[in-house]
Amino acid sequence: MPFPTASILCSSYNSARYIDGYCRSLNNQLLPRFNVIYVDAASTDTSLERFKLFKFRDGIEVTIIECAEKVPIYQAWNMAIEVADTDYCMNFNTDDRLYPAALRTLLEYANVWPNVDVIYSRCYIVDDPDHHKIVNLFDWPEYSHSNLVKMCLCGPFPLLKRQTIIDAGLFNPEYSIVGDYEMWLRLSRRGSKFRKIPETIGSYFNNPAGLSTDKSLEVERTRQVHDIQEKYR
């Protein structure tokens, strides 16, 4: 059986501060070959230009989708998934970082777990994506549907079987803040298989302006989470 293939999905809007470190994180991956699908959501800063100027190493195939107007993150992910032609996809945000062995490690597990749809890992929490001062560790519990209802335990960069996401109907943009959580619960309810690996494969930036942390979004975020948990309980 051939070794599985993967695409990195990136939705970027005004990410110039993070782009160089993000691209280096991709370039440093030990997996010889993979794809990157970069969706620029009509940025008004230099992030798209910086991404285009970056010299990616051989073996990384880059596709750029330029949106004429700003699109929500989950709509951007859907656009990237539809363009991808690989076995697996991974959503990977510009202010997070993957350790060099991350993608290779995940695909090695996928190779021995061909029936698993979602593979997730531990990750460190940092207060700056590039200076990497660790402030905490996300170490989620093992998967069960009841655990997933309690918390979004798949982390910031799970490996997803592409066809499984397509069969489930892609991400629902109506959940503009927690659309990933809705997808994991939808997959779980459909009987998709989840597995956690013991490795810590990257770092998550506790960005105060992020969808999961922005205090101005707290009321709507709480409403969406409650709605999803009640729907899939």
**What percentage of the chain carries pLDDT values higher than 90?**
91
Decide if 40 contacts 12 (C-beta within 8 A): yes
Give burial (CB, 10 Å; 0-12/13-18/19+) of 7.
Answer: buried
pLDDT of residue 223: 95
Note the pLDDT tens digit of each residue in 164-206. 999 999 999 999 999 999 999 999 999 999 999 999 999 999 8
Q: Taking residues 106-130, report their average pLDDT.
A: 96
CA dihedral (153, 118, 56, 49) positive or negative? negative
Q: Which residue has the higher pLDDT, 131 or 138?
A: 138
What is the model's pLDDT at position 95? Answer: 95
Domain spans in the chain, listed from the N-terminal domain onward: 6-232
> How far from 56 is each of 25, 41, 202, 205, CA to CA, in Å?
11, 21, 20, 23
Average pLDDT over residues 68-84: 97
For residue 216, pLDDT over 90 is answered with no
Spatial separation of the C-alpha atoms in residues 2 and 92, rounded to whole Å: 24
Average pLDDT taken over every residue of the chain: 95
| pLDDT at residue 209, as a whole number | 67
Q: What is the average per-residue pLDDT within 45-65?
A: 98
CA proximity to 73, closest of 172, 165, 157: 172
Confidence of residue 133 (pLDDT cuts 50, 70, 90): confident
Asked if residue 207 has pLDDT above 80, the reply is no
The yes or no reply on domain 6-232 and CATH 3.40.50.300 is: no
Q: What is the pLDDT of residue 210?
A: 65
